[in-house]
Structure 1
Amino acid sequence: MKLCVIIPLCALITLTQQVPPQDQCVCDLTNSEKAFPHDKLSTVEDNASKCNSNITPKKTLELESLMLGLERRLPQLEKDLSVLERENDGELYGVLSLLVIENELTEIKQLMDKLNMTSLRHQHLTTDTTEQRLKRDLDQCKDEHHPTPHPTQPPQGICPHGKFVNITGPGVYTAGEYPGSYMYGAWGRDPKPAVGKENWYWLVMLTSSNVYSNYIRLYSSLSSLIVGVSVPGNVLIHSSNPTTNTVQGPNVVLYGDALYYNCYNKYDVCRFNLSTKTVTTMQLPEGTRFNSKGNFCRLDECYPYTDLDLATDESGVWVIYTTTQDFGNLVLSKVEEGEPPTLNQTWHTSVYKQAVTNTFMACGVLYATRYVSKEVEEIFYSFDTSTGVEKFDIGIFIRKMSPNIYSLNYSPVDQMLHAYCNSFMVSYKVLFE
């Protein structure tokens, strides 16, 4: 941090010139201002350093991991108790079952002790921080007579949240209504919802051959989606599945009360208006790969019919694809709303699509992931559309709950990343600086 202070010279010094008999010039310097508060600056730096060391994504992730562990242990304990009540023979089986339950109770207690200790530390930190912030706000209120109004929108090309630095979670992990039934799909929130639908969530499952779908399923809240109560239910694109202009592939998004997706058997983007129940299409450039010829892949497997990936961020809808003339490298285009939607500016990258497992957009930046292991996915690449700068060393890791992530959608509403993994719906918090 640099401190620049410009003070008129006349306010700082009183200069008196004397000429002694020996013709020597002597100057007396009198400082009329207070000494620089080095001690206060040192205290502020110490407080900032302590805050940075205490509040870290790693410690937030630790708390979330403990909560997730507790969530998983408790249902298993209930299940084991039910089995014991039904099948207890009063002899060896009962003794062994009680030992298993005793071990589970011990592990649950250890988790709760760790969780209580972590929460206690966070409470102390919150109390200290709140007191310091309240004192600072009171001082500012006392000293500032002419506050400067903040701009209503960030400058062009600047992310309103700051720099994307990490991912934590999962925050949501649910099989929803159909556990294990539909391996491929997508889910999320509408970044530009219709009035009354601000808290709604959507779900598209590939219900035919793990490739096609002909409807979108809506939920009035996140809790409704988790427990599997769909209101208002399904909105049909067409009664047949598949047929012209129904959904092909898992990479779909909802924006402005309209579903954007890869049209059946075409290299077009379809836009299904949920209000009017009409479909309009937008053709991508000649040579765009489709029908499972330009998929996302990992070393030993490709994800079928992932040729086109639709994405949303703070500015709207994007489409990520590849073409024969780009030799399989990722191409990114901005999609403009309308019926039909139109293709706006296009960017060409140098990352090979089959080396990528998924992509998403956040604040005008394209991010790409790759498979590391059954437990870990890495966000390794970014392309900034405002500067054209590519980076291959992002190094942000996603803790997976299932081996494969078949779709990944960023929600600018709450800065969450929604993943669909082997029929499970999982969400992660995107952390900005």
Structure 2
Amino acid sequence: MFLLLLLCMCGLVLRGDAQDRAALWRGNDRSGRCQYTFNVPSPTEASCPQTGGPEVEGLNARLSLLEVLVSKLTGGGTGGSQGAAARAQPGLQEALNRVTGERNLLQGEKERLGQELEGLQRRMEEMRRETERLRNRPCPLQTPVVPPSLSVQDSGLMRPVGDSAWQYGRPGFQELKAEVTEVPAPDTSEDNTGCGELVSVGEPVTHRKADNIAGKYGVWMQDPEAVSPYGPNMVWRIDTIGSDVRQLFGYDDMEQLSKGFPSKVLLLPELVESTGATLYRGSLYYQRRRSRSLIRFDLASESIATRRDLPHAGFHGQFPYSWGGYTDIDLSVDQQGLWAVYSSSKAKGAIVISLLDPHSLEVKRSWETNIRKNSVANSFIICGKLYTVASYTAPDTIINYMYDTKTSQGKSMAIPFRNRYRYNSMIDYNLAQRKLFAWDNFHMVSYDLRLGHQQAN
């Protein structure tokens, strides 16, 4: 490129020198024809410099054009491209912002569609379960199909009951002939006062909704063997959200609980871990926060009566229920006494059931099941039988397993169970009312039970 420029400049210079020595003129003669005149200066005139003329002006124009071209090729072109890029930068930034905004809108639309898809999937699952429930439910009584032996005698003519004359025939003497089948009387041996196997769980009844976020999870209970100064109708609750859980609220009865008027508030000396507390014989039993220590808190003296570690038990999230919440140790009371449901490294996460001494908190006997604790949502014990719940969020779930400590045998089952508010964090058998008490997403609910008659030994 530079060689080409050099040749052009040399040509212009030589042409300029030639123009200094000779000149070409064009004009019309008298007859109107074009006439060219070529003049060469003499040796005498060659020493005189020429300072004007159209040739010099043309040369200057060409030199100016050449200078502009060289400037663009050497440095001016880069500056021009940079200027163009600078002018184009705001447009590119605007386009980028527009594309980013559209991407964010599409992302939001994708998330919304995903939520709608999840809602539709839940509705489909509910419809599927409802369909299965309707299929399994006995069919309602329909208009009976009349066997051939059942007929109507009307004016000597025999007509089947389904004949239109049965509805529209003229009134007269009618004789029905049919076989009668006896219906067995209902079995009244199944109720909530026995100690047989669980047969069914009723619909949840809501008693109270917690007042603030601290009550999303919690535990509420009654003492089946209340001790003075508190009566048998006293209801207790603990809200378990937060890092400083130590308040125990007492209500005179269920009505005061539903109104939200506590008659007693006790401050526990040790922090409470999770929703596994229970009441028995005038004492509150609970797990101390971040430890495997069990505490018996005497309600009358408002002090700790007993403290003991539960041997090898996992704690603070090692072996919780599937919903989490540090539910490693779950205490409960039934007809046989005080129980602890937990797991350990030795049991490899399987549910361990231990019967505890209510005074010393020593383990009297233990049973190891083959059900992993973190695979079930919750559990409760009735008459020495452990029952597990499959899900804590599904509105229609089941009680899916039972383990009998009397026979040391377990079995699968499918008893329908409702999570009305879709986040059940506590389920315990309330021996005082022989019902299930549960804490479902801020709500304190109860369930009626039906137990089968106890098998003879």
Q: Please state which band the TM-score falls in when normalised by the shorter chain.
A: 0.5 to 0.7
Structure 2: how far apart are the matches of 1:236 and 1:351? Answer: 36
2:447 pairs with 410, 415, 428, which one? Answer: 428
Q: Is the 8 A contact 1:418 1:426 kept in 2?
A: yes
| Deviant stretches of 4+, over 4 Å | none
Deviations 1:324-348 (A, max 9, x none): 011100001011111x322110111
The aligned counterpart of 2:184 is 48
Quote the residue 1:323 is aligned against.
344
Distance 1:356 1:385 in 2: 19
Write the distance in 1 (CA, Å) between the matches of 2:219 and 2:246. Answer: 13
Q: Matched residue of 1:303: which SS?
A: coil
**Could you tell me whether the CA contact under 8 Å between 1:383 and 1:390 is conserved in 2?**
yes
Q: Does structure 2 conserve the Cα–Cα contact (< 8 Å) formed by 1:374 and 1:402? A: no
Distance 1:225 1:344, change over 3 A: same
> What letter corresponds to residue 235 of structure 1 in structure 2?
L
Q: Is the Cα contact below 8 Å between 2:393 and 2:419 reproduced in 1?
A: no
TM-score when normalising by structure 2: 0.56
| Runs of 5+ unmatched residues, structure 1 | 1-42, 61-158, 239-244
Secondary structure of the residue that 1:331 maps to in structure 2?
Answer: strand
**C-alpha separation in 1, matches of 2:386 and 2:318:** 22
Which residue type is aligned with residue 414 of structure 1? Answer: Q
Alignment partner of 1:213 is 2:213 = no
Aligned to 1:374: 394
Residues 55-110 of structure 1: per-residue CA shift (max 9 Å, x gap): 999xx9xxxxxxxxxxxxxxxxxxxxxxxxxxxxxxxxxxxxxxxxxxxxxxxxxx
Partner residue, 1:112: none
Kindly provide the amino acid, as one letter, of the partner of residue 400 in structure 1.
N
Query: Are 1:351 and 2:371 counterparts?
Result: yes
Q: Distance in 2 between matches of 1:172 and 1:395?
A: 24
Give runs of aligned pairs for residues 55-74 of structure 1, distance below 5 A. Answer: none
* Structure 2, unpaired ranges of 5+: 1-179, 453-457
Are the counterparts in 2 of residues 179 and 424 from structure 1 also a CA contact under 8 Å? no
Counterpart CA distance in 1 for 2:450 and 2:212 is: 30
The answer to whether 1:305 aligns with 2:326 is yes
Paired residue for 1:282, among 308, 313, 316? 308
Q: Is the 8 A contact 1:312 1:360 kept in 2?
A: no
Counterpart amino acid of residue 276 in structure 2: N
Give the TM-score of the pair, scaled to structure 1: 0.59
- The residue type paired with residue 253 of structure 1 is T
Which of 243, 253, 275 pairs up with 2:278?
Answer: 253
Q: What CA deviation, in whole Å up to 9, does each residue of 1:275-310 have, x standing for no partner?
A: 122222121123x2111111111xxxx322101111
Give yes or no for the alignment of 1:225 onto 2:257: yes
Mapped to 1, the partners of 2:239 and 2:214 lie a distance apart of 9
CA contact (8 A) 2:426 2:439 kept: yes
Find the counterpart in structure 1 of residue 231 from structure 2: 197
Higher alpha-carbon deviation: 418-427 or 167-176: 167-176
Whether contact under 8 Å (1:328, 1:353) holds in the other structure is yes
Name the counterpart of 1:234.
265
Q: 1-side partners of 2:324 and 2:392: how far apart?
A: 15
> What CA deviation, in whole Å up to 9, does each residue of 1:375-416 have, x standing for no partner?
123211111111111012x21121122112111110122211
Contact 1:202 1:216 in 2 (8 A): yes
The whole-number CA distance in structure 2 between the counterparts of 1:372 and 1:406 is 7
Cα shift at 1:373: 5.2
Call closer, same or farther: CA 1:181–1:341 in 2, change over 3 Å.
closer
Q: CA deviation at 1:213?
A: 1.4
Report deviation, 1:179: 5.1
Q: Is the contact between residue 180 and residue 424 of structure 1 (CA under 8 Å) also seen in structure 2? A: no
Is the alpha carbon distance of 1:181 and 1:304 closer, same or farther for their aligned partners in structure 2, counting shifts above 3 Å? closer
The one-letter code of the counterpart of 2:310 is L
1:379-398 superposed matches below 5 A = 379-392=399-412, 394-398=413-417
Q: Secondary structure at the match of 2:424?
A: coil
Following superposition, the deviation at residue 221 of structure 1 comes to 0.5
Aligned equivalents of 2:265, 2:280: Cα separation in 1: 17
> For 1:188 and 1:382, how far apart are their aligned partners in 2?
23
Are 1:273 and 2:303 an aligned pair? no
Identity fraction in percent? 24
Partner of 1:160: 194
The answer to whether the Cα contact below 8 Å between 2:344 and 2:350 also exists between their aligned partners in 1 is yes
Alpha-carbon distance between aligned partners in 1 of 2:277 and 2:290, rounded to the nearest angstrom = 15
Q: Aligned in 2, Cα 1:321/1:161: closer, same or farther, shift over 3 Å?
A: closer
User: Please, what is the CA RMSD of the aligned residues?
Assistant: 2.4
- Which residue number corresponds to residue 184 of structure 1? 217
| Secondary structure of the corresponding residue to residue 226 of structure 1 | helix
Tell which structure's C-alpha radius of gyration is larger: 2
Residue aligning to 1:414: 433
